[in-house]
C-alpha cells in the first residue's frame, strides 16, 4: 500500500492511478487531514509515501501532513521510502534546511530535463527526457546530505536523493503522460529496495 499525500495538485489522482496500473494500491489523504490518520495507516502496512505537487508555497503553508511526514522521515521516526513531486520536492528541500524560492522562469509545461546520475529512480531512463515541469517555486540549493540527480536549463535541481536514507524527489511531474519515462520513474520508486 502506497500513502499519497494530496497537496492540491490537479494531477494527484494520476499518481494513484499509475500506482494501481503498476500493481500497487494507493491510499490518498489530503494534506490538511489530522496526522492521526497517517499513524493508523502506518500500522496497517504502508510500504512507502509520495508527497504530491500542489499550487501553494512551502513558506506560506501552515504545518501540514507533507511537512510533518518529511520532518519525521528526516528525524528517523518514519523509516519508509519517500518520494516528493514538485511541491513535495520543495517541501523535502525546505524541511531539510535548503532555500526554496521563485524559479527564474515561471514556466509550466514541457521542458527538457538532463539526468546527471542514474541512481535508483532513473534506472533505465535516457540521459535526457521531456518532462511536464512547473518552476513557479524551486529548491535553490541542495540540502545537506543530498545528491543532485538532474537539472534543466532553467532549474539546477530537477531531482535529488538523500545519500543515506531512501528519500527521493523530483521538481517535475512523472505522473503526467507528457513526461517521457514518467511511469518508469514511478515504477523504480515503487520497486526500490531500501535494503
3-class DSSP state of 71? helix
Rounded to whole angstroms, the Cα distance separating 103 from 38 reads 31
Which residue of the set 86, 162, 180, 181 is catalytic? 86
Domains in the chain: boundaries: 2-190
Which residue of the set 89, 94, 173, 181 is catalytic? 173
CATH-assigned architecture of domain 2-190: 3-Layer(aba) Sandwich (3.40)
145 dihedral zone (left: phi>0; alpha: psi -120 to 50; beta): left
Rounded to whole angstroms, the Cα distance separating 133 from 51 reads 16
Tens-digit pLDDT profile for residues 9-42: 888 999 999 999 999 999 999 999 999 999 999 9
Q: How confident is the model at residue 186 (pLDDT cuts 50, 70, 90)?
A: very high
3-class DSSP state of 84? strand
183 is catalytic: no
Asked if 134 and 117 touch (Cβ cutoff 8 Å), the reply is no
For residue 195, pLDDT beyond 60: no
162 is catalytic: no
Tens-digit pLDDT profile for residues 142-169: 999 999 999 998 889 999 999 999 999 9
Q: How confident is the model at residue 105 (pLDDT cuts 50, 70, 90)?
A: low
For residue 135, pLDDT beyond 70: no
Amino acid at each position: 500500500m502506497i500513502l499519497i499525500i494530496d497537496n492540491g495538485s490537479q494531477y494527484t489522482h494520476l499518481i494513484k492511478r499509475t500506482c494501481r496500473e503498476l500493481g500497487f494500491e494507493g491510499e490518498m489523504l489530503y494534506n490538511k487531514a489530522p496526522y492521526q490518520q497517517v499513524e493508523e495507516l502506518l500500522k496497517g502496512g504502508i510500504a512507502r509515501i509520495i508527497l504530491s505537487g500542489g499550487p501553494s508555497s512551502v513558506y506560506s503553508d501552515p504545518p501540514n501532513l507533507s511537512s510533518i511526514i518529511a520532518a519525521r522521515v528526516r528525524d528517523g521516526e518514519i523509516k519508509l521510502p519517500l518520494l516528493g513531486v514538485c511541491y513535495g520536492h520543495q517541501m523535502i528541500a525546505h524541511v531539510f534546511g535548503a532555500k526554496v524560492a521563485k524559479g527564474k522562469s515561471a514556466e509550466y509545461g514541457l521542458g527538457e530535463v538532463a539526468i546527471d546520475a542514474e541512481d535508483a529512480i532513473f534506472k533505465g531512463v535516457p540521459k535526457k527526457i521531456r518532462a511536464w515541469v512547473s518552476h513557479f517555486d524551486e529548491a535553490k540549493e541542495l540540502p545537506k546530505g543530498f545528491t543532485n540527480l538532474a537539472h534543466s536549463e532553467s532549474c539546477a535541481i530537477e531531482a535529488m536523493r538523500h545519500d543515506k536514507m531512501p528519500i527521493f524527489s523530483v521538481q517535475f511531474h512523472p505522473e503526467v503522460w507528457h513526461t517521457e519515462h514518467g511511469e518508469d520513474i514511478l515504477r523504480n520508486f515503487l520497486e526500490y529496495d531500501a535494503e
